[in-house]
């Protein structure tokens, strides 16, 4: 493991200001090192809400849970940390609230998507083309599929499709071809460095090489962790768990994630007026949320200077419309 900070959370002040407005149940679905959770718990304490509040932190990475437990020392009475996938957010909230005798109606949910700096910077986790390590990329080390399994077993066409779909890499076909040719000659691709060198040799030159490397590594990471598949479900189920006026905030770091967040939020905000051309007095179904942010919020220049990772962060927030209002 590399020495240094585990993870610097982004847009903390904005998220606390938008989400923490009353006592209640709060869920951090991407606990990481616990930076955002700590800010929630501090804000709840400062407002005198601690006694009526509970924070549930979820992460699928055991190393994150260990770090978060250290970060949140002193707040044990008001927090529960769970190893799990946020796609099971509803079941996790129901179980945690059931154990505490609370109704599973949530005041605030945060999803800070992607990987932490710790995961990226730890060579043994295999997330980065900048560090030599095994081709792993699993956030949950108990998961069955690693990046090595994909690189060494997928057919050329499947590889090309995934690099194009999840990496939006225009040269996906030639990269896939080069991987398969390497496998035929050498047996397998065995490390992040081997893969990165192979990509470098087969990408167009200059600045584009770095882009191609990050796109291919992003594509593999998304496939390994099923990142886009779990996101839609987590957003829909999370919204169902929100209490009246409860809020959900999502930070995404690339366009594929942001597109899903934007689409789901827009769908949930829209009332269903039935087929076009049919005049209706009221909709078949009312929207269940309002958009708190019409356009995504981004980090300030100062924050980006202090924490370059904040550069690509996009924050979207919705608020649950009270149930009674759906029928007014």
Ligand X SMILES: C[S@@+](CC[C@H](N)C(=O)[O-])C[C@H]1O[C@@H](n2cnc3c(N)ncnc32)[C@H](O)[C@@H]1O
DSSP for 163-185 reads: HHHHH--TTHHHHHHHHHHHHHH
- Which of 50, 56, 79, 85 is close enough to bind ligand X by CB under 6 A? 85
Choose the stretch contacting ligand X; rule: CB under 6 A; options: 53-61, 206-214, 256-264, 296-304. 53-61
Tokens describing residue 134:
């095994």
CA dist 224 and 226 (Å) reads 6
> In this complex, which beta carbon is closest to ligand X, that of residue 127 or of residue 265?
127
Choose the stretch contacting ligand X; rule: CB under 6 A; options: 52-60, 178-186, 264-272, 282-290. 52-60
Q: Is 224 in the site for ligand X (CB under 6 A)?
A: no
Provide, rounded to whole angstroms, the least separation between the CB of residue 252 and ligand X.
Answer: 10
CA dist 178 and 199 (Å) reads 8
Q: Is 126 in the site for ligand X (CB under 6 A)?
A: no
Residue nearest to ligand X (CB): 32
- Which of 30, 53, 218, 252 is close enough to bind ligand X by CB under 6 A? 30
- Which of 11, 14, 16, 33 is close enough to bind ligand X by CB under 6 A? 33
Provide, rounded to whole angstroms, the least separation between the CB of residue 288 and ligand X.
Answer: 23
- Residues 252, 256, 260, 263, Cα dihedral to 10°: 110
Q: Tell how strand 106-112 and strand 54-59 pair up.
A: unpaired
For helices 62-71 and 35-46, what crossing angle results, to 10°?
Answer: 30
- Which of 50, 53, 60, 192 is close enough to bind ligand X by CB under 6 A? 60
- Where does 12-162 show beta strands of DSSP type E? 25-28, 54-59, 79-83, 106-112
Q: What residues are paired with 242 via a beta bridge?
A: 106
Q: What residues are paired with 289 via a beta bridge?
A: 320
CA dist 113 and 225 (Å) reads 12
Choose the stretch contacting ligand X; rule: CB under 6 A; options: 31-39, 43-51, 142-150, 204-212. 31-39
> In this complex, which beta carbon is closest to ligand X, that of residue 9 or of residue 148?
9
Closest by Cα among 91, 74, 1 to 34? 74
**What is the H or E stretch that residue 17 is in?**
helix 12-19
Provide, rounded to whole angstroms, the least separation between the CB of residue 136 and ligand X.
Answer: 13
> In this complex, which beta carbon is closest to ligand X, that of residue 40 or of residue 164?
40
Convert residues 102-121 into a mask of x (bound to ligand X by CB under 6 A) and - (unbound). ----------x-xxx-----
Q: How many residues bind ligand X (CB under 6 A)?
A: 22
- Which of 82, 109, 139, 203 is close enough to bind ligand X by CB under 6 A? 139
CA dist 111 and 109 (Å) reads 7
Closest by Cα among 272, 316, 321 to 294? 316
- Which of 58, 82, 92, 310 is close enough to bind ligand X by CB under 6 A? 58
Choose the stretch contacting ligand X; rule: CB under 6 A; options: 43-51, 59-67, 73-81, 257-265. 59-67
- Which of 86, 164, 182, 265 is close enough to bind ligand X by CB under 6 A? 86
> In this complex, which beta carbon is closest to ligand X, that of residue 85 or of residue 212?
85
Tokens describing residue 294:
């019409």
CB atoms closer than 10 angstroms to residue 262: 18
Provide, rounded to whole angstroms, the least separation between the CB of residue 109 and ligand X.
Answer: 13
Q: For residue 39, report the phi and psi dihedrals to the nearest 5 degrees.
A: -65, -40
Q: Is 32 in the site for ligand X (CB under 6 A)?
A: yes
Q: Is 36 in the site for ligand X (CB under 6 A)?
A: yes
Q: Which residues bind ligand X (CB under 6 A)?
A: 7, 9, 30, 32-36, 58-61, 64, 85-87, 112, 114-116, 139, 230
């Amino acid at each position: 493991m590399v020495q240094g900070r585990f993870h610097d959370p982004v847009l903390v002040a904005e998220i606390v200001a938008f989400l923490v407005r009353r006592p209640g149940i709060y869920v951090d679905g991407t606990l990481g090192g616990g930076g955002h959770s700590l800010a929630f718990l501090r804000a709840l304490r400062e407002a005198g809400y601690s006694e009526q509040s509970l924070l549930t932190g979820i992460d699928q990475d055991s190393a994150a849970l260990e770090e978060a437990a250290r970060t949140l020392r002193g707040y044990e009475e008001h927090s529960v940390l769970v190893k799990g996938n946020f796609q099971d957010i509803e079941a996790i909230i129901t179980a945690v609230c059931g154990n505490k005798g609370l109704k599973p109606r949530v005041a605030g949910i945060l999803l800070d998507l992607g990987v932490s700096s710790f995961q990226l910077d730890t060579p043994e986790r295999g997330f980065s083309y900048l560090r030599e390590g095994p081709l792993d990329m699993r956030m949950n080390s108990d998961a069955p599929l690693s990046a090595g399994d994909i690189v060494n077993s997928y057919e050329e066409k499947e590889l090309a499709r995934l690099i194009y779909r999840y990496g939006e890499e225009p040269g996906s076909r030639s990269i896939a071809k080069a991987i398969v040719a390497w496998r035929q000659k050498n047996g397998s691709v065995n490390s992040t460095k081997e893969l990165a060198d192979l990509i470098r040799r087969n990408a167009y030159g200059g600045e584009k090489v770095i882009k191609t490397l990050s796109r291919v590594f992003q594509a593999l990471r998304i496939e390994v962790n099923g990142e886009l598949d779990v996101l839609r479900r987590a957003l829909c189920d999370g919204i169902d768990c929100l209490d009246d006026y409860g809020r959900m905030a999502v930070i995404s770091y690339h366009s594929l994630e942001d597109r899903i967040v934007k689409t789901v939020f827009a769908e949930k905000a829209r009332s269903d007026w039935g087929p076009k051309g049919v005049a209706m007095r009221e909709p078949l179904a009312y929207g269940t949320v309002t958009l708190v942010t019409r356009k995504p919020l981004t980090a300030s220049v100062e924050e980006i200077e202090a924490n370059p990772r904040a550069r690509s962060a996009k924050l979207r927030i919705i608020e649950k419309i009270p149930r009674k209002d759906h029928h007014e």
